[in-house]
């Protein structure tokens, strides 16, 4: 369900807003927020609820891995977009799960008129890293309806 009103969205966003995602702000258009659900170093898997304000999206990026790796998104609130390079964008709604293989260029974020949250899960692998690339252009983003 689309939520342009933050108060309505916040009631649906059961994993919470968290703090403004300032560490990764250079890789986002608009504001995002990060709420860690597990503690790095205390759990073998890092999970975080990532929230995007309306129109916010991350840059194109690649989760690199020699073996394993990749990312899983569990959509929890609001509506968003996911797109792999060379493919049509996928409309995201609560309950959807997106499996992103390692070494695939992609981006994800909120729709222009809705807040959006997903739980991000970084899949374990060997020699893993994130490669941040160029922003999604306004023309690419605005073409999504």
The 10s digit of each residue's pLDDT in 68-116 is 999 999 999 999 999 999 999 999 999 999 999 999 999 999 999 999 9
Are 37 and 48 in contact by the 8 Å Cβ rule? The answer is yes
Q: Which of 127, 120, 124 is nearest to 106 (CA)?
A: 120
Chain mean pLDDT for the chain: 95
- Name the pLDDT band for 44 (thresholds 50, 70, 90): confident
pLDDT of amino acid 25? 97
Structure confidence at residue 67 (pLDDT): 95
Over range 127-140, report the average pLDDT: 96
d(CA 136, CA 89): 12
Above 90 in pLDDT, residue 58?
yes
Residue 4: the pLDDT is 87
Q: Is the predicted pLDDT of residue 130 greater than 90, yes or no? A: yes
How far apart are the C-alpha atoms of 56 and 30, rounded to whole Å? Answer: 4
Instruction: Give the CATH H-level superfamily of domain 6-142.
Output: Jelly Rolls (2.60.120.10)
Q: How far apart are CA 35 and CA 77, in angstroms?
A: 14
The candidate with the shortest Cα–Cα distance to 24, out of 32, 16, 35, 14, is: 32
Q: Across residues 106-127, what is the average pLDDT?
A: 96
Going by their DSSP bridges, the two strands 116-122 and 47-52 should be labelled as: antiparallel
State the Cα–Cα distance between residues 145 and 132, nearest whole angstrom: 25
Boundaries of every domain in the chain: 6-142
For residues 47 and 120, the answer to whether their CB atoms sit within 8 Å is yes
The rounded percent of the chain whose pLDDT value lies above 90 is 90
């Amino acid at each position: 369900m689309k939520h342009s009103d933050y108060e309505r969205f916040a009631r649906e966003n059961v994993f919470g807003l968290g703090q403004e995602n300032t560490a990764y702000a250079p890789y986002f258009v608009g504001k995002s927020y990060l709420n860690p659900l597990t503690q790095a170093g205390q759990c073998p898997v890092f999970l975080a609820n990532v929230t995007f304000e309306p129109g916010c999206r991350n840059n194109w990026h690649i989760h690199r891995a020699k073996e394993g790796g990749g990312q899983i998104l569990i959509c929890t609130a609001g509506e968003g977009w996911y797109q792999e390079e060379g493919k049509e964008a996928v409309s995201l709604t609560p309950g959807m799960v997106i499996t992103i293989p390692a070494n695939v260029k992609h981006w994800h974020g909120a729709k222009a008129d809705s807040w959006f949250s997903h739980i991000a899960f970084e899949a374990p692998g060997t020699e893993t890293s994130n490669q941040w690339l160029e922003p999604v252009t306004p023309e690419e983003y605005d073409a999504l309806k």
